[in-house]
């Protein structure tokens, strides 16, 4: 198993866990690494039908265990009623610990699932990160085919596996989540959403271009978010001069390979502009991965003035704000900090300006303005952020 950053923390956790993440990010493999006493995979149709018909069967099976156990249930959203049985078992204080996994918050919401507040810790998991891949990491590969473990680590079959994920899972299974008869609208939406990944969303223009009603469009985006396929990035909201700041939001696909395969670009050689656009999204995905793996209290947003000044990512901690500009080139100038100068007028916390680029050296432009090679930024700067 490729070692995951989250593993050591989960090994020390004595509370029950709900691990959320898209399909194929490695949730089941991670749970099995924790060596559960009993494993139930609800993707097995026979087990799914058995527990759907009689969810209280779980209680009887666990009561038959002679001592406290570590119990794993994969894809628990398929039978949300099991969560009521799990609550009874947790409240019974028999010493059992549950490891649950899920890939769809929508099914849990639709089933009015009991999410066990105060009884279970929710963790999030995504594709392999820069820190997890270490010497196996390739930027070109990550930008083109993404970092889903079964794809990135399987070079001989990476492309057909990625194509299967895009076709079978996103175009068919997520479409079923949409509960829509308008298959054409969903297909047009999915392609347009992949194209719009990382861009500011103008719902009116998007609706017109894709020929999809605005409310349907919002619902489709909500489905992708609930099935953990996209991250919703809010705009930075300053406490003053709010009218000058663009209040549109962005969505970024959880994996760049998945985004690319939807557009038929997973075998393409990207231009510098296209690579820069993907690099910007990849940096965001690494920040999210680190934040989730180490449970950081970070807020990540994006910033744009109506005048056009834009900062790719705003990372806010309880004590400091980082403005992060992503540049695929190998050279940096003072002009690359211009938008961050404009942003600095809207913040009251200490503010650090950062340009992340593909160059070889760390450069200091002022007391609070630095350029970092992306490897140094991720290996040294990000872990130091409190």
Q: Give residue-wise pLDDT tens across range 291-311.
A: 999 999 899 999 998 888 899
Whole-model pTM over 0.85? yes
Q: Is 368 exposed, middle or buried (0-12, 13-18, 19+ CB in 10 A)?
A: middle
Q: Does some domain include residue 58?
A: yes
Q: Does some domain include residue 33?
A: yes
Q: Count CB-CB contacts under 10 A for residue 318.
A: 9
Tens digit of pLDDT for each residue in 111-151? 545 566 678 898 999 999 999 999 999 999 999 999 999 99
Same domain (yes/no): 193, 316: no
The residue segments making up the domain with residue 86 are: 7-124
Same domain (yes/no): 265, 367: no
Q: Does some domain include residue 242?
A: no
Same domain (yes/no): 155, 266: yes
Count of the separate structural domains present in the chain: 3
Same domain (yes/no): 98, 157: no
Same domain (yes/no): 293, 376: yes
170: nearest Cα among 220, 218, 206: 220
| Across 147-170, average pLDDT | 91
Contact 103, 23 (CB under 8 A): yes
Contact 190, 262 (CB under 8 A): yes
Same domain (yes/no): 105, 172: no
CA distances from 22 to 118, 166, 225, 324 (A): 24, 13, 10, 27
Give the integer Cα–Cα distance in Å for 100 and 89: 14
Question: What pLDDT is attached to residue 151?
Answer: 96
Last residue of a domain, one of 86, 108, 124: 124
Give the integer Cα–Cα distance in Å for 79 and 97: 19
Q: Which of 93-107, 154-168, 314-328 has the lowest mean pLDDT?
A: 93-107
Q: Does some domain include residue 248?
A: no
pLDDT, averaged across the chain: 90
Give the integer Cα–Cα distance in Å for 133 and 111: 37
Q: What is the SS3 string spanning 243-305?
A: HHECCCCEEEECCHHHHHHHCCCCCCCCCHHHHHHHHHHHHHHHHHHHHHHCCCCCEEEEEEE
Structure-block tokens of residue 132: 């997890």
Same domain (yes/no): 202, 317: no
Query: What is the CATH number for 102?
Result: 3.40.50.300
Give the integer Cα–Cα distance in Å for 376 and 357: 10
């Amino acid at each position: 198993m490729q070692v995951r950053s989250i593993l050591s923390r989960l090994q020390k956790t004595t509370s029950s866990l709900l691990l959320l993440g898209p399909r194929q990010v490695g949730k089941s493999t991670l749970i099995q690494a924790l060596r559960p006493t009993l494993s139930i995979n609800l993707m097995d149709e026979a087990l799914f039908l058995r527990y759907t018909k009689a969810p209280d069967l779980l209680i009887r099976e666990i009561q038959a265990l002679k001592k406290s156990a570590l119990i794993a249930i994969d894809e628990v959203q398929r039978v949300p009623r099991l969560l009521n049985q799990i609550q009874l078992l947790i409240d019974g204080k028999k010493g059992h610990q549950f490891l649950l996994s899920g890939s769809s918050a929508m099914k849990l919401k639709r089933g009015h699932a009991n999410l066990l507040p105060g009884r279970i810790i929710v963790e999030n998991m995504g594709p392999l990160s820069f820190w997890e891949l270490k010497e196996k990491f390739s930027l070109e590969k990550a930008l083109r085919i993404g970092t889903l473990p079964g794809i990135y680590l399987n070079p001989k079959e990476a492309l057909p596996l990625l194509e299967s994920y895009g076709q079978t899972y996103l175009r068919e299974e997520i479409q079923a989540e949409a509960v829509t008869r308008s298959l054409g609208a969903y297909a047009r939406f999915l392609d347009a959403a992949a194209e719009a990944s990382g861009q500011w969303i103008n719902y009116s223009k998007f609706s017109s271009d894709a020929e999809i009603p605005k409310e349907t469009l919002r619902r489709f985006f909500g489905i992708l978010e609930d099935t953990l396929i996209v991250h919703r990035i809010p705009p930075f909201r300053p406490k003053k001069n709010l009218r000058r700041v663009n209040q549109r939001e962005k969505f970024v696909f959880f994996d760049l390979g998945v985004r690319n395969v939807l557009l038929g670009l997973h075998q393409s050689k990207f231009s510098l502009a296209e690579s820069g656009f993907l690099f910007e999204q990849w940096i965001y995905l690494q920040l999210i991965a680190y934040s989730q793996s180490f449970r950081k209290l970070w807020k990540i947003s994006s910033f744009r003035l109506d005048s056009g000044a834009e900062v790719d990512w705003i990372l806010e901690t309880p004590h400091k704000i980082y403005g992060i500009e992503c540049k695929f080139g190998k050279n940096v100038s003072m002009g690359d900090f211009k938008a961050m100068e404009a942003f600095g007028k809207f913040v009251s916390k200490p503010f650090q300006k950062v340009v992340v680029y593909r160059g070889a050296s760390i450069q200091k432009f002022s007391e609070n303005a630095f350029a970092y090679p992306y490897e140094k930024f991720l290996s040294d700067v990000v872990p130091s952020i409190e």
